[in-house]
Amino acid sequence: MDHDKMRSALSALRDGELDGPAKKTVARHVEACPDCRAELRSWERASRAFLRRPSRPTSAETERCVRSVMARLAAPAASASWWDVLVSSSWLTPALGLASVALVLSFLPYGGLAALEPVFVAQGYELSLAPARRVPAAGVAEAVGLSDDVR
């Protein structure tokens, strides 16, 4: 085999992909060729650096980690500010929606509410947007439909 083919076979040798005769041929070339030997060593160093298993933490590191977690658990929880409580409340969204509707309706002219009357009537509500008529105090019973007999 020529030198370039041997260089491409180094990866296969390192990965254990070569069978008996090819493995012996590449191994003999590596023993004789300092460039290929250096390249194979650099690949082995790289694989040890990147493919090694992480080391187990020492007992001191484990103890330090446990202490920091326990300190965070023992620390009193920070109380929420009044603003955080207000904003996180579930009633805030409906209240703001209702306030927005009231604000919009307050800017409508009086006659503008008359356009809503068919909606309320269709839903079964009685709605009269006509101005109330003034009834003299003496005629209240007659205005509501009561006769003198019922009083």
pLDDT in tens, 17-47: 888 888 888 888 888 888 888 888 888 888 7
Alpha helix (H) ranges present in the chain?
3-15, 20-32, 34-51, 59-74, 82-88, 92-106, 117-122, 140-144
Is residue 23 within 8 Å of residue 13, measured between CB atoms?
A: yes
pLDDT value for 64: 93
User: Averaged over 141-145, what is the pLDDT?
Assistant: 62
Look at residue 125 and tell me whether its pLDDT is greater than 70.
Answer: no
pLDDT score for 68: 92
- Do 44 and 14 meet the contact criterion of CB atoms below 8 Å apart? yes
At residue 23's C-alpha, the angle toward residues 17 and 24, to 5°, is 170
The two three-digit tokens of residue 64, written as one number:
């330090």
Q: What is the mean pLDDT of residues 52-69?
A: 86
The pair of structure tokens assigned to 91 is 């009633």
Tell me the Cα Rg of the chain.
45
